[in-house]
Amino acid sequence: MAEIIQGNIANVKADVIVNAANRTLLGGGGVDGVIHAAAGPELLDECLELRKSKFVSGLPTGQVAVTKAYNLKAKHVFHTVGPIKGKDDLSLLKDCYVNCLKKAEELGMKSIAFPAISTGFYGVPVDYSAKTVKQVLKEEKPRIKILLVLYDYADKKIYDEVFKEK
């Protein structure tokens, strides 16, 4: 179904690396900052162009913006904004994963690497994230390789447990 690994998503080789972005698309902390730093300044330049042309008010929660990957070991970066616990409907997390998978298949990609979207600063519980991803994979039945990349060992253990459940 999916391969769960611990590591830095910016070092993963996949056709697509998913960025847990903020609405501005202009970099930030956590996964977003790591991806922007590793990709190089061209990523920020492309995101600035997207803000001027397509996402003037920012990227809506659950939607996807596609850029080149520049210095990453990928073809594309898919930027998606997850929900903020206590502010947004957490079910929007599902949209992040579904829309990224659909876009990857539409573009003919063979592999995609996801972080645990919204589990850092945005406060979504890791077990909720893992259950959401598992449900999406079961419902969508993607035909591409799925990598779930968890930076923290404790988060990986939670994902491992959830994916073992029937």
Domains of the chain: which residue ranges?
3-164
Q: How far is CA 146 from the centre of its chain?
A: 11
What is the pTM assigned to this prediction? 0.96
| Cβ contact 9:149 at 8 Å | yes
Class (C level, CATH) for 3-164: alpha beta
Per-residue pLDDT reduced to its tens digit, 15-54? 999 999 999 999 988 999 999 999 999 999 999 999 999 9
pLDDT of 166: 78
In the chain, what is the straight-line distance between the N-terminal and C-terminal CA atoms, in Å?
A: 13
Q: Report helix, strand or coil for 111.
A: strand
Alpha helices in 2-152 (DSSP H): 30-39, 41-53, 92-106, 126-140
Per-residue pLDDT reduced to its tens digit, 67-106? 999 999 999 999 999 999 999 999 999 999 999 999 999 9
Residue of 15, 32, 95, 155 with catalytic role: 32
- Is 155 an annotated catalytic residue? no
